Chain A
Amino acid sequence: MAELTYRDAVIRGIAQEMSRDSDVVFLGEDVGKSGGVFKATVGLFEQFGPVRVRDTPISEQAILGAAMGAAMTGLKPIAEIMFSDFFAVCFDYIANEFAKSRYMSNGQLKCPLVVRTGNGGGARFGAQHSQSVENWCMMIPGLKVVAPSNPRDVIGLMAAAVRDPDPVIFFEHKSLYPTKGEVPDGEIVDTLGSAKIVRPGKDATIIALALMVPRALAAAEKLKSEHGIDCEVVDARSLVPLDTQTILGSVSRTHRLFTVEENPRLCGWGAEIVSIVADEAFYELDGPPVRITTPHIPLPAADVLEDMALPSVERIADRVRRSLQS
Chain B
Amino acid sequence: MATIQDRAPASQASLNDDIGEEKRLAMYRMQVEIREAEQRAFDLFLQNLVKGTSHLSLGQEAVAAGFATAMRPGDLSFCTYRGHAHTLARGVPIAKVLGELMQRDTGLMRGKGGSMHLTSVDHGVMGSYAIIGAHLPIACGAAWRAQYKGQKDVTVCFFGDGTTNIGAFHEALNFAAVWKLPVVFVCENNLYMEYTPIGDVTAVQHPAADRAASYGLERIIVDGNDADAVYRAATTAYDKARAGHGPSLIECLTYRHSGHSRADPAKYRPEGELERWKQRDPIKIYRERLKQFGVGDDVIARIDADVRKQVDEATEQCKAAPPPSPDILTSDVYADGGFAWRN
- B137 in contact (CB, < 8 A): yes
A5-13, A61-69, A222-230, A300-308: which lies at the B interface? Answer: A61-69
- B126 in contact (CB, < 8 A): yes
CA distance A104 to B117 in the complex (A): 7
Contact between chains at B139 and A69 (CB < 8 Å): yes
Given contacts A62-B172, A65-B168, contact A107 B331 (CB under 8 A): yes
Partner of B127, one of A65, A101, A241: A101
Given contacts A105-B117, A241-B343, contact A72 B332 (CB under 8 A): no
Instruction: Name the interface residues of B79-131: CB closer than 8 Å to any CB of A.
Output: 108-110, 112-113, 117, 119-121, 126-127, 129, 131
B24-32, B51-59, B141-149, B272-280: which lies at the A interface? Answer: B141-149
Given contacts A103-B332, A165-B335, contact A72 B131 (CB under 8 A): no
| Chain A hits for B184, CB < 8 A | none
Given contacts A65-B172, A104-B109, contact A92 B333 (CB under 8 A): no
- A243 in contact (CB, < 8 A): yes
- A44 in contact (CB, < 8 A): no
| Chain B hits for A64, CB < 8 A | 137
Partner of B134, one of A93, A112, A164: A93
A232-259 vs B: 1/0 string, CB under 8 Å? 0000000011111100000000000000
Seen from chain A, the residues whose Cβ lies within 8 Å of a Cβ on chain B are 25, 51, 54, 56-57, 59, 61-75, 77, 92-93, 96-97, 101-110, 112, 141-142, 144, 164-166, 193, 240-245, 276
Contact between chains at B137 and A62 (CB < 8 Å): yes
Residue of A nearest to B340 (CB): A241
Contact between chains at B141 and A71 (CB < 8 Å): yes
Knowing that A56-B175, A62-B172, A69-B155 are A-B contacts, what are 13 other residue pairs whose CB atoms are under 8 Å apart, sorted by A's residue number? A62-B137, A65-B136, A65-B138, A65-B172, A66-B144, A96-B131, A101-B127, A104-B113, A104-B127, A108-B120, A108-B121, A141-B341, A244-B342
Contact between chains at A110 and B335 (CB < 8 Å): yes
| Chain B hits for A61, CB < 8 A | 134, 137, 167-168, 171-172
Shortest distance from the beta carbon of A140 to any chain B beta carbon, whole Å: 10
Partner of A105, one of B127, B141, B146: B127
| Chain B hits for A193, CB < 8 A | 343
CA distance A62 to B138 in the complex (A): 8
- B337 in contact (CB, < 8 A): yes
Shortest distance from the beta carbon of B337 to any chain A beta carbon, whole Å: 7
Contact between chains at A51 and B148 (CB < 8 Å): yes
Contact between chains at A109 and B127 (CB < 8 Å): yes
Contact between chains at A97 and B335 (CB < 8 Å): no
List 4 tightest A-B contacts by C-beta distance, closest first: A65-B137, A69-B141, A165-B335, A66-B141
Partner of A74, one of B138, B145, B171: B145
Residue of A nearest to B175 (CB): A62
Shortest distance from the beta carbon of B9 to any chain A beta carbon, whole Å: 31
CA distance A61 to B112 in the complex (A): 26
Given contacts A62-B172, A66-B140, contact A75 B148 (CB under 8 A): yes
- B293 in contact (CB, < 8 A): no
- B174 in contact (CB, < 8 A): yes
| Chain B hits for A242, CB < 8 A | 341-343
Given contacts A57-B174, A141-B333, A241-B342, contact A73 B145 (CB under 8 A): yes
Instruction: Name the interface residues of B288-313: CB closer than 8 Å to any CB of A.
Output: none
CA distance A70 to B76 in the complex (A): 12
Q: What are 22 A-B contacts defined by CB distance under 8 Å?
A: A25-B148, A56-B175, A57-B174, A59-B171, A61-B171, A62-B175, A65-B137, A65-B140, A65-B171, A66-B144, A70-B141, A72-B138, A92-B134, A96-B134, A101-B127, A103-B333, A105-B119, A108-B109, A241-B340, A243-B342, A243-B343, A244-B343
Partner of A62, one of B113, B117, B140: B140
Shortest distance from the beta carbon of B168 to any chain A beta carbon, whole Å: 5
| Chain A hits for B136, CB < 8 A | 65
Contact between chains at B333 and A69 (CB < 8 Å): no
CA distance A142 to B127 in the complex (A): 17
Shortest distance from the beta carbon of B144 to any chain A beta carbon, whole Å: 5
CA distance A165 to B113 in the complex (A): 21
| Chain B hits for A243, CB < 8 A | 342-343
Contact between chains at B171 and A57 (CB < 8 Å): yes
Contact between chains at A102 and B333 (CB < 8 Å): yes
Contact between chains at A57 and B141 (CB < 8 Å): no
Query: Which of B142, B168, B178 has most chain A Cβ within 10 Å?
Result: B142
